[in-house]
Protein backbone atom coordinates (compact mmCIF):
# COMPACT_ATOMS: atom_id res chain seq x y z
CA UNK A 1 0.00 0.00 0.00
CA UNK A 2 0.94 3.66 -0.28
CA UNK A 3 1.49 5.17 3.15
CA UNK A 4 0.30 8.62 2.17
CA UNK A 5 -2.17 10.38 -0.07
CA UNK A 6 -1.99 13.70 -1.86
CA UNK A 7 -3.98 16.28 0.11
CA UNK A 8 -6.64 18.52 -1.38
CA UNK A 9 -3.96 21.14 -1.12
CA UNK A 10 -1.79 19.71 -3.91
CA UNK A 11 1.37 21.02 -2.25
CA UNK A 12 0.90 18.69 0.75
CA UNK A 13 0.60 14.98 1.45
CA UNK A 14 -1.32 13.28 4.26
CA UNK A 15 0.52 10.59 6.22
CA UNK A 16 -1.64 7.48 6.70
CA UNK A 17 0.46 5.74 9.37
CA UNK A 18 -1.37 7.03 12.45
CA UNK A 19 -4.52 8.89 13.36
CA UNK A 20 -2.82 12.24 13.57
CA UNK A 21 -3.10 12.16 9.77
CA UNK A 22 -0.34 14.77 9.57
CA UNK A 23 -0.58 17.02 6.52
CA UNK A 24 2.97 17.66 5.41
CA UNK A 25 4.35 20.32 3.13
CA UNK A 26 7.57 19.52 1.25
CA UNK A 27 10.39 18.69 3.71
CA UNK A 28 8.00 18.87 6.69
CA UNK A 29 8.18 16.12 9.32
CA UNK A 30 5.15 14.70 11.15
CA UNK A 31 4.32 14.68 14.86
CA UNK A 32 6.38 11.49 15.26
CA UNK A 33 9.50 13.24 14.00
CA UNK A 34 10.51 10.42 11.66
CA UNK A 35 8.20 10.60 8.64
CA UNK A 36 8.85 13.35 6.13
CA UNK A 37 7.43 14.70 2.88
CA UNK A 38 10.31 14.47 0.43
CA UNK A 39 9.35 15.82 -2.98
CA UNK A 40 5.73 14.74 -2.63
CA UNK A 41 6.38 11.26 -1.21
CA UNK A 42 6.46 10.01 2.37
CA UNK A 43 9.93 9.00 3.50
CA UNK A 44 10.38 6.94 6.66
CA UNK A 45 13.58 8.38 8.10
CA UNK A 46 14.22 5.48 10.51
CA UNK A 47 13.87 2.75 7.88
CA UNK A 48 16.74 0.33 8.53
CA UNK A 49 17.95 2.11 11.66
CA UNK A 50 16.95 0.27 14.86
CA UNK A 51 18.21 1.93 18.03
CA UNK A 52 17.30 -0.85 20.49
CA UNK A 53 17.46 -4.59 19.77
CA UNK A 54 17.15 -7.44 22.27
CA UNK A 55 16.15 -11.06 22.64
CA UNK A 56 13.15 -11.09 25.00
CA UNK A 57 10.86 -13.75 26.41
CA UNK A 58 7.47 -13.31 24.80
CA UNK A 59 6.00 -12.85 28.29
CA UNK A 60 7.88 -9.53 28.56
CA UNK A 61 5.84 -7.91 25.76
CA UNK A 62 3.57 -8.86 27.59
CA UNK A 63 1.85 -11.65 25.68
CA UNK A 64 0.67 -14.59 27.81
CA UNK A 65 -1.54 -16.41 25.30
CA UNK A 66 0.89 -16.34 22.38
CA UNK A 67 3.63 -18.96 22.01
CA UNK A 68 4.30 -19.12 25.77
CA UNK A 69 7.90 -19.77 26.76
CA UNK A 70 9.28 -18.67 23.39
CA UNK A 71 11.74 -15.91 22.50
CA UNK A 72 11.04 -12.80 20.44
CA UNK A 73 13.57 -10.69 18.60
CA UNK A 74 12.51 -7.25 19.82
CA UNK A 75 13.51 -3.91 18.36
CA UNK A 76 12.50 -0.29 18.12
CA UNK A 77 13.63 2.98 16.57
CA UNK A 78 13.61 6.58 17.75
CA UNK A 79 10.43 8.67 17.69
CA UNK A 80 6.82 8.39 18.83
CA UNK A 81 3.43 9.87 18.01
CA UNK A 82 2.48 10.22 21.70
CA UNK A 83 4.03 12.34 24.47
CA UNK A 84 3.37 10.17 27.54
CA UNK A 85 5.01 11.77 30.60
CA UNK A 86 5.49 8.34 32.20
CA UNK A 87 7.24 6.70 29.22
CA UNK A 88 9.79 4.10 30.33
CA UNK A 89 11.62 4.31 26.98
CA UNK A 90 11.56 8.11 26.72
CA UNK A 91 15.27 8.25 25.87
CA UNK A 92 14.50 6.73 22.45
CA UNK A 93 10.82 7.54 21.94
CA UNK A 94 11.14 11.25 22.63
CA UNK A 95 14.22 11.89 20.51
CA UNK A 96 14.54 12.23 16.75
CA UNK A 97 18.29 11.77 16.57
CA UNK A 98 18.86 8.83 14.22
CA UNK A 99 22.05 6.81 14.59
CA UNK A 100 22.95 5.85 11.04
CA UNK A 101 26.09 4.00 12.05
CA UNK A 102 24.10 0.80 12.52
CA UNK A 103 21.88 -0.30 9.64
CA UNK A 104 19.89 -3.54 9.59
CA UNK A 105 18.06 -4.58 6.43
CA UNK A 106 14.79 -6.53 6.59
CA UNK A 107 16.60 -9.72 5.50
CA UNK A 108 19.28 -9.22 8.14
CA UNK A 109 16.68 -8.69 10.86
CA UNK A 110 14.99 -11.99 10.01
CA UNK A 111 18.36 -13.76 9.99
CA UNK A 112 19.07 -12.39 13.47
CA UNK A 113 15.79 -13.92 14.69
CA UNK A 114 16.81 -17.33 13.41
CA UNK A 115 20.34 -17.02 14.79
CA UNK A 116 18.91 -16.51 18.27
CA UNK A 117 16.22 -19.20 18.06
CA UNK A 118 13.36 -16.73 18.16
CA UNK A 119 9.89 -17.76 17.08
CA UNK A 120 8.71 -14.21 16.49
CA UNK A 121 9.75 -10.63 15.84
CA UNK A 122 8.33 -7.93 18.10
CA UNK A 123 8.09 -4.34 16.93
CA UNK A 124 8.28 -2.54 20.25
CA UNK A 125 10.10 -0.14 22.64
CA UNK A 126 8.78 2.90 20.77
CA UNK A 127 5.57 3.14 18.73
CA UNK A 128 5.90 0.71 15.79
CA UNK A 129 3.24 2.26 13.58
CA UNK A 130 5.61 5.19 12.94
CA UNK A 131 8.09 2.77 11.33
CA UNK A 132 5.41 0.62 9.71
CA UNK A 133 7.05 0.54 6.25
CA UNK A 134 10.19 -0.98 7.79
CA UNK A 135 8.22 -3.32 10.06
CA UNK A 136 6.04 -4.64 7.25
CA UNK A 137 9.00 -5.33 4.96
CA UNK A 138 10.61 -7.34 7.77
CA UNK A 139 7.32 -8.99 8.68
CA UNK A 140 6.54 -10.27 5.20
CA UNK A 141 9.92 -12.01 4.99
CA UNK A 142 9.53 -13.37 8.52
CA UNK A 143 6.05 -14.69 7.76
CA UNK A 144 7.27 -16.39 4.60
CA UNK A 145 9.96 -18.14 6.64
CA UNK A 146 7.62 -19.31 9.40
CA UNK A 147 8.10 -16.64 12.05
CA UNK A 148 5.32 -14.75 13.81
CA UNK A 149 5.06 -10.94 14.01
CA UNK A 150 3.96 -8.84 17.00
CA UNK A 151 3.13 -5.15 17.53
CA UNK A 152 3.43 -3.58 20.98
CA UNK A 153 1.52 -0.40 20.35
CA UNK A 154 -0.37 2.57 21.74
CA UNK A 155 -3.22 1.70 19.37
CA UNK A 156 -3.28 4.92 17.32
CA UNK A 157 -3.07 3.17 13.94
CA UNK A 158 -5.26 4.33 11.08
CA UNK A 159 -7.96 2.14 9.58
CA UNK A 160 -5.88 2.02 6.40
CA UNK A 161 -2.93 0.50 8.25
CA UNK A 162 -5.03 -2.00 10.23
CA UNK A 163 -6.65 -3.21 7.01
CA UNK A 164 -3.13 -3.79 5.68
CA UNK A 165 -1.98 -5.82 8.69
CA UNK A 166 -3.71 -9.22 8.56
CA UNK A 167 -1.52 -10.67 5.80
CA UNK A 168 1.60 -10.38 7.96
CA UNK A 169 0.84 -9.37 11.59
CA UNK A 170 -0.16 -12.15 14.00
CA UNK A 171 -0.62 -10.43 17.36
CA UNK A 172 -0.61 -7.10 19.15
CA UNK A 173 -0.47 -5.90 22.71
CA UNK A 174 -2.32 -2.59 22.81
CA UNK A 175 -2.02 -0.05 25.61
CA UNK A 176 -5.32 1.19 26.98
CA UNK A 177 -3.78 4.00 28.97
CA UNK A 178 -6.86 5.71 30.38
CA UNK A 179 -10.64 5.89 30.09
CA UNK A 180 -10.62 9.68 29.84
CA UNK A 181 -10.66 11.30 26.38
CA UNK A 182 -9.47 14.63 27.79
CA UNK A 183 -6.49 12.94 29.48
CA UNK A 184 -5.59 11.19 26.24
CA UNK A 185 -5.72 14.42 24.24
CA UNK A 186 -4.22 16.87 26.72
CA UNK A 187 -1.54 14.73 28.40
CA UNK A 188 -0.76 11.90 25.98
CA UNK A 189 -1.50 13.76 22.71
CA UNK A 190 -3.61 10.88 21.42
CA UNK A 191 -7.25 9.85 21.65
CA UNK A 192 -9.28 7.25 23.57
CA UNK A 193 -11.94 6.72 20.91
CA UNK A 194 -9.22 6.13 18.32
CA UNK A 195 -7.64 3.43 20.51
CA UNK A 196 -11.01 1.76 21.08
CA UNK A 197 -11.57 1.73 17.32
CA UNK A 198 -8.16 0.13 16.81
CA UNK A 199 -8.94 -2.63 19.30
CA UNK A 200 -12.28 -3.35 17.63
CA UNK A 201 -10.77 -3.36 14.14
CA UNK A 202 -7.83 -5.58 15.05
CA UNK A 203 -10.16 -8.07 16.73
CA UNK A 204 -12.41 -8.07 13.65
CA UNK A 205 -9.39 -8.62 11.38
CA UNK A 206 -8.41 -11.76 13.30
CA UNK A 207 -5.25 -10.36 14.89
CA UNK A 208 -4.70 -11.85 18.34
CA UNK A 209 -4.84 -9.00 20.86
CA UNK A 210 -3.98 -8.56 24.50
CA UNK A 211 -4.52 -5.31 26.39
CA UNK A 212 -2.22 -3.58 28.87
CA UNK A 213 -3.08 -0.78 31.29
CA UNK A 214 -0.31 0.87 33.30
CA UNK A 215 -2.10 1.86 36.50
CA UNK A 216 -1.01 5.21 37.94
CA UNK A 217 -2.63 6.11 41.24
CA UNK A 218 -4.59 9.34 41.01
CA UNK A 219 -4.48 9.34 37.21
CA UNK A 220 -6.38 6.35 35.82
CA UNK A 221 -7.31 4.08 38.75
CA UNK A 222 -10.80 5.24 39.69
CA UNK A 223 -13.22 2.34 40.14
CA UNK A 224 -15.73 3.76 37.68
CA UNK A 225 -13.11 4.07 34.94
CA UNK A 226 -11.77 0.57 35.58
CA UNK A 227 -15.29 -0.86 35.51
CA UNK A 228 -16.00 0.76 32.14
CA UNK A 229 -12.64 -0.42 30.76
CA UNK A 230 -13.33 -3.99 31.86
CA UNK A 231 -16.87 -3.91 30.46
CA UNK A 232 -15.55 -2.61 27.12
CA UNK A 233 -12.96 -5.39 26.86
CA UNK A 234 -15.35 -8.15 27.92
CA UNK A 235 -18.37 -6.86 26.03
CA UNK A 236 -16.90 -5.56 22.77
CA UNK A 237 -13.67 -7.52 22.36
CA UNK A 238 -14.40 -10.76 24.22
CA UNK A 239 -14.25 -12.12 27.76
CA UNK A 240 -11.26 -14.25 26.68
CA UNK A 241 -9.04 -11.23 25.91
CA UNK A 242 -6.13 -11.10 28.41
CA UNK A 243 -5.90 -7.83 30.36
CA UNK A 244 -2.50 -6.99 31.84
CA UNK A 245 -2.66 -4.58 34.79
CA UNK A 246 0.83 -3.20 35.34
CA UNK A 247 2.33 -1.21 38.19
CA UNK A 248 3.77 2.21 37.43
CA UNK A 249 7.18 3.20 38.70
CA UNK A 250 8.42 6.82 38.70
CA UNK A 251 10.12 7.73 35.42
CA UNK A 252 10.69 10.50 32.88
CA UNK A 253 8.42 13.48 33.78
CA UNK A 254 6.54 11.67 36.57
CA UNK A 255 9.30 10.98 39.06
CA UNK A 256 7.27 12.78 41.73
CA UNK A 257 4.51 10.13 41.56
CA UNK A 258 4.42 7.09 43.82
CA UNK A 259 4.97 3.54 42.64
CA UNK A 260 1.62 1.80 42.23
CA UNK A 261 0.77 -0.28 45.28
CA UNK A 262 -0.11 -3.95 44.98
CA UNK A 263 -3.51 -3.33 46.58
CA UNK A 264 -4.38 -0.95 43.72
CA UNK A 265 -3.66 -3.70 41.18
CA UNK A 266 -5.62 -6.20 43.25
CA UNK A 267 -8.60 -3.82 43.34
CA UNK A 268 -8.46 -3.49 39.56
CA UNK A 269 -8.10 -7.27 39.23
CA UNK A 270 -11.30 -7.81 41.25
CA UNK A 271 -13.16 -5.31 39.06
CA UNK A 272 -11.96 -7.07 35.90
CA UNK A 273 -13.02 -10.50 37.14
CA UNK A 274 -16.41 -9.16 38.21
CA UNK A 275 -16.90 -7.87 34.66
CA UNK A 276 -16.42 -11.44 33.42
CA UNK A 277 -12.88 -11.36 32.08
CA UNK A 278 -11.34 -14.84 32.23
CA UNK A 279 -7.66 -13.90 32.04
CA UNK A 280 -6.36 -11.00 34.12
CA UNK A 281 -2.66 -10.67 34.91
CA UNK A 282 -0.69 -8.34 37.20
CA UNK A 283 2.59 -6.93 35.95
CA UNK A 284 5.68 -5.24 37.40
CA UNK A 285 4.95 -6.82 40.79
CA UNK A 286 6.15 -10.00 42.47
CA UNK A 287 3.02 -12.10 42.02
CA UNK A 288 2.42 -15.13 39.86
CA UNK A 289 1.15 -14.74 36.31
CA UNK A 290 -0.30 -18.22 36.06
CA UNK A 291 -3.07 -19.16 33.63
CA UNK A 292 -6.00 -21.26 34.86
CA UNK A 293 -8.85 -22.90 32.99
CA UNK A 294 -11.87 -20.59 33.33
CA UNK A 295 -14.18 -23.62 33.43
CA UNK A 296 -12.60 -26.14 35.83
CA UNK A 297 -9.84 -24.08 37.44
CA UNK A 298 -6.96 -26.37 36.46
CA UNK A 299 -3.51 -24.78 36.35
CA UNK A 300 -2.61 -24.56 32.67
CA UNK A 301 0.53 -22.40 32.54
CA UNK A 302 2.83 -21.86 35.49
CA UNK A 303 4.96 -18.70 35.16
CA UNK A 304 7.84 -17.66 37.37
CA UNK A 305 8.78 -14.14 36.39
CA UNK A 306 9.08 -14.23 32.61
CA UNK A 307 9.77 -17.98 32.56
CA UNK A 308 7.21 -20.66 31.80
CA UNK A 309 7.87 -23.67 34.05
CA UNK A 310 4.74 -25.68 33.17
CA UNK A 311 2.51 -25.60 30.09
CA UNK A 312 -0.37 -28.09 30.25
CA UNK A 313 -2.37 -26.76 27.30
CA UNK A 314 -2.94 -29.48 24.69
CA UNK A 315 -3.95 -28.43 21.18
CA UNK A 316 -5.38 -25.17 22.53
CA UNK A 317 -7.53 -26.90 25.16
CA UNK A 318 -7.59 -27.63 28.87
CA UNK A 319 -6.44 -31.26 29.31
CA UNK A 320 -8.86 -31.73 32.20
CA UNK A 321 -12.21 -30.56 30.78
CA UNK A 322 -11.36 -29.89 27.11
CA UNK A 323 -12.42 -26.24 27.31
CA UNK A 324 -10.94 -24.18 24.47
CA UNK A 325 -8.30 -21.76 25.75
CA UNK A 326 -8.15 -18.86 23.33
CA UNK A 327 -4.73 -17.83 22.09
CA UNK A 328 -1.98 -18.76 19.63
CA UNK A 329 -0.22 -21.82 20.99
CA UNK A 330 1.89 -23.04 18.07
Domain boundaries, the chain: 4-44, 52-286, 288-330
CA-to-CA dists, residue 8 to 30, 172, 215, angstroms: 18, 33, 42
Least Cα distance to 156 among 121, 202, 123, 214 occurs for: 202
Fold of the 52-286 domain = TIM Barrel (3.20.20)
What is the rounded CA–CA span in Å between residue 316 and residue 324? 6
Q: Is the predicted pLDDT of residue 156 greater than 90, yes or no?
A: yes
Q: Is-above-0.75 flag for pTM?
A: yes
What is the rounded CA–CA span in Å between residue 248 and residue 263? 13
To the nearest whole number, what is the mean pLDDT of the chain?
Answer: 97
Phi, psi of 43, rounded to the nearest 5 degrees: -110, 125
Which 3 state secondary structure label does DSSP give 15? strand
Q: What percent of the chain has pLDDT over 70?
A: 100
Tens digits of per-residue pLDDT, 163-186?
Answer: 999 999 999 999 999 999 999 999
Tens digits of per-residue pLDDT, 259-305?
Answer: 999 999 999 999 999 999 999 999 999 888 999 999 999 999 999 88
CB-based burial, 276-290: b 16+ in 10 Å, e otherwise:
ebbbbbbbbbeeebb
Amino acid sequence: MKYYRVSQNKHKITCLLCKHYCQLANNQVGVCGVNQNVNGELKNLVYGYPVALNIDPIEKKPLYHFLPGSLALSFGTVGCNFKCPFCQNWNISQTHDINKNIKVSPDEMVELAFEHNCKSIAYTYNEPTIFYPYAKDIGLIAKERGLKNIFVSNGFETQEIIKDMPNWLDAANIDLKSWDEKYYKKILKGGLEAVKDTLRLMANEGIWIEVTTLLIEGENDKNEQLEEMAEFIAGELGDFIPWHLSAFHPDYKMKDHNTTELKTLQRAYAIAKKAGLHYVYLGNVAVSGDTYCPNCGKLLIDRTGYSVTVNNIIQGCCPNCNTIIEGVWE
